[in-house]
């Protein structure tokens, strides 16, 4: 076990007794939603995972320790601290550990912690990807590189629709990352169920997905897998409307010179404001939906 890793009692017991586990990120708590919805959402995700036969393992860096499994007071701390907590990706982990500092883990960092702890399944909202205009800015999320090299399966509602979805799929194909659609042939677009872009294959049961994960990791291919799970129909937003809102938010970000790790929280915040909170409701619904599917896959695995 890595000397910097700190497991909660629940996670340690689950690993020892070979119970199914699902990793969860913490950036969605500190940077993805306002308080108190962020803490409520985190606790509900953990509850949903337990109800579906698995053990939740929310990840974060606290006091320089790589924490896998958080206590309620730690979730509360991250929720209240918000963006004052460092948004931690792969490049940030070592310096936060050395400084005994705090960090909320992104998709990439959560994959790393999950792999260290021996957890194969991770549920999140949406992954990062190739940003619009990346052909000139080279703004490509570290999430994609992590999927290319860390064998953890990520369940999400597709890539965030603030991104260039076509280029994101092309990048994943280049890196050899399989994109599996759960009950869909198309890449979901986070707030909406379809994007017009095809996934690599469709699977209709958690067991099918679990069997594929087992085969991939058993072959020693050393890459992750992306399982895309469309937002529930009743929570899906109108594609034309949300598309216009996103275009407006991206233009505002460009005008303000916002880029890098600051751009996603800015865009999600602007979209929430313009939609009167409807986008936040959709975001929460799709996170719950992903937690449920991830737990079912973990139990099957």
Average pLDDT over residues 263-284: 82
Residue 240, burial from CB neighbour count under 10 angstroms (0-12, 13-18, 19+)? exposed
- CATH code, domain with 187: 3.40.1790.10
Of the candidates 46, 76, 146, 160, the residue annotated as catalytic is 160
Average pLDDT over residues 250-278: 79
Residues paired with 226 in a beta bridge = 154, 179
Residue 189: which of 274, 116, 246 has the closest Cα? 246
Instruction: For residue 160, indicate whether it is catalytic.
Output: yes
CA 205 to chain centre: 21
> pLDDT confidence of 16, banded at 50, 70, 90?
very high
What would the pLDDT profile of 125-176 be if each residue is shown by its tens digit? 999 888 777 777 788 889 999 999 999 999 999 987 778 899 999 999 999 9
Average pLDDT over residues 174-202: 95
194: region left, alpha or beta (phi > 0 left; psi from -120 to 50 alpha)? beta
Please tell me the predicted confidence (pLDDT) of residue 29: 95
Average pLDDT over residues 75-99: 96
Residue of 279 and 263 predicted with greater confidence? 279
> pLDDT confidence of 46, banded at 50, 70, 90?
very high
Q: How far apart are CA 76 and CA 99, in angstroms?
A: 22
Average pLDDT over residues 7-33: 96
Residue of 259 and 5 predicted with greater confidence? 5
**Residue 39 contacts residue 52 (beta carbons within 8 Å):** no
Residue 27: which of 114, 118, 124 has the closest Cα? 124
pTM across the whole model: 0.92
Average pLDDT over residues 73-97: 96
What would the pLDDT profile of 275-295 be if each residue is shown by its tens digit? 877 888 999 999 999 999 999
Task: Domain count for the chain, please give it.
Answer: 1
Please tell me the predicted confidence (pLDDT) of residue 268: 74
Structural domain of 153: 5-300
Please tell me the predicted confidence (pLDDT) of residue 1: 58
> pLDDT confidence of 254, banded at 50, 70, 90?
confident
DSSP 8-state class, residue 236: P
**Residue 297 contacts residue 211 (beta carbons within 8 Å):** no
Instruction: For residue 183, indicate whether it is catalytic.
Output: no
Please tell me the predicted confidence (pLDDT) of residue 33: 87
Of the candidates 10, 25, 46, 146, the residue annotated as catalytic is 25
Give the pair of three-digit tokens for residue 34. Answer: 């306002």
Q: How far apart are CA 148 and CA 142, in angstroms?
A: 10
Mean pLDDT of the chain: 93
Pair type for strands 103-105 and 55-62: antiparallel
pLDDT at 32 over 80: yes
Q: How far apart are CA 193 and CA 233, in angstroms?
A: 7
């Amino acid at each position: 076990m890595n000397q910097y890793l700190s497991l909660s009692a629940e996670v340690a017991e689950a690993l020892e007794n070979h119970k199914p586990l699902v990793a969860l990120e913490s950036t969605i708590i500190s940077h993805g939603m306002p308080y108190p919805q962020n803490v409520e959402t985190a606790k509900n995700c953990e509850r949903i995972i337990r109800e579906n036969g698995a053990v939740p393992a929310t990840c974060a860096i606290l006091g320089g320790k790589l924490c896998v499994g958080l206590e309620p007071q730690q979730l509360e701390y991250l929720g209240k601290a918000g963006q004052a907590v460092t948004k931690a990706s792969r490049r940030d982990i070592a310096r936060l550990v050395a400084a005994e500092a705090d960090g909320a883990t992104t998709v990439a960092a959560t994959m790393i912690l999950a792999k260290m702890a021996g957890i194969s399944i991770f549920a999140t909202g949406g992954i990062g990807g190739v940003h619009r205009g990346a052909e000139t800015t080279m703004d490509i999320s570290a999430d994609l590189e992590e999927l290319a090299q860390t064998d953890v399966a990520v369940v999400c509602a597709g890539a965030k629709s603030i991104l260039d979805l076509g280029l994101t799929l092309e990048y994943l194909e280049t890196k050899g990352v399989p994109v599996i659609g759960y009950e869909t042939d198309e890449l979901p677009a986070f707030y909406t169920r379809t994007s017009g872009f095809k996934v690599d294959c469709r699977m209709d049961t958690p067991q099918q997905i679990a069997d594929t994960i087992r085969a991939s990791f058993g072959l020693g291919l050393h890459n992750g897998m992306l399982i895309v799970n469309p937002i529930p129909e009743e929570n899906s937003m109108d594609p034309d409307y949300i598309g216009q809102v996103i275009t407006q938010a991206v233009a505002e970000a460009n005008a303000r010179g916002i880029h890098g790790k600051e751009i996603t929280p800015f865009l999600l915040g602007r979209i929430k404001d313009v939609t009167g909170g409807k986008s936040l409701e959709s975001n929460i619904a799709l996170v719950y939906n992903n937690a449920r599917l991830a737990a079912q896959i973990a139990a099957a695995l």
